């Protein structure tokens, strides 16, 4: 039987997290969009002003995945929620329960912090992930469309 452990990430995990981020981007056919450096990960996840947290998933003592999350807020509920920014498990560890263990750990964090919900996004073509999420009871949000301002467009809008 495989031993799965979930632990809080530390600054020493920055290179590992960046490797997992890059692997995830390759899987999502967006490797060219990863511009983060190890220094960026160290500062944004572990710096003094961070509001973001990360977990490392280990299978038999070897790091096989990670999750990055932060807390958001619902004015309608008057409660916080937990937003899962990224969840990734290495291909060789998929099917061993690592992804489910990460999500269960996040659910426990959310419940312990009195959060009303856990939310995340998945690419519409990622059928294995969609099937996995539905198998644990997660429901897709189809009434909302995500929008983003970023890069130069964000800067231009902020300065106009």
Neighbour-count burial for 11-20, b at 16+ CB within 10 Å, e otherwise? eebbebbbeb
Closest CA to 81 of 56, 122, 109, 105: 109
Is 133 a catalytic site residue? yes
Closest CA to 83 of 113, 38, 59, 46: 113
Contact assessment for residue 118 and residue 82, using Cβ atoms and an 8 Å cutoff: yes
Catalytic residue among 69, 88, 133, 147: 133
CA distance 141 to 33: 25
Catalytic positions: 133
């Amino acid at each position: 039987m495989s031993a799965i452990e979930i632990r809080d990430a530390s600054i020493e995990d920055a290179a590992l997290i960046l490797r997992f981020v890059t692997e995830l981007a390759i899987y999502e056919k967006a490797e060219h969009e990863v511009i983060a450096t190890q220094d960026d990960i160290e500062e944004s996840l572990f710096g003094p002003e961070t509001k973001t947290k990360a977990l490392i998933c280990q299978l038999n003592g070897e790091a096989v995945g990670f999750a990055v999350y932060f807390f958001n807020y619902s004015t309608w509920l008057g409660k916080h929620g937990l937003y899962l920014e990224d969840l990734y498990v290495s291909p060789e560890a998929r099917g061993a329960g690592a992804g489910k263990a990460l999500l269960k750990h996040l659910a426990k964090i959310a419940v312990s912090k009195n959060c009303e919900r856990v939310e995340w996004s998945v690419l519409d073509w990622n059928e294995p992930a969609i099937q996995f999420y539905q198998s644990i009871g997660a429901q897709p949000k189809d009434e909302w469309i995500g929008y983003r301002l970023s890069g130069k467009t964000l800067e231009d809008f902020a300065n106009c």
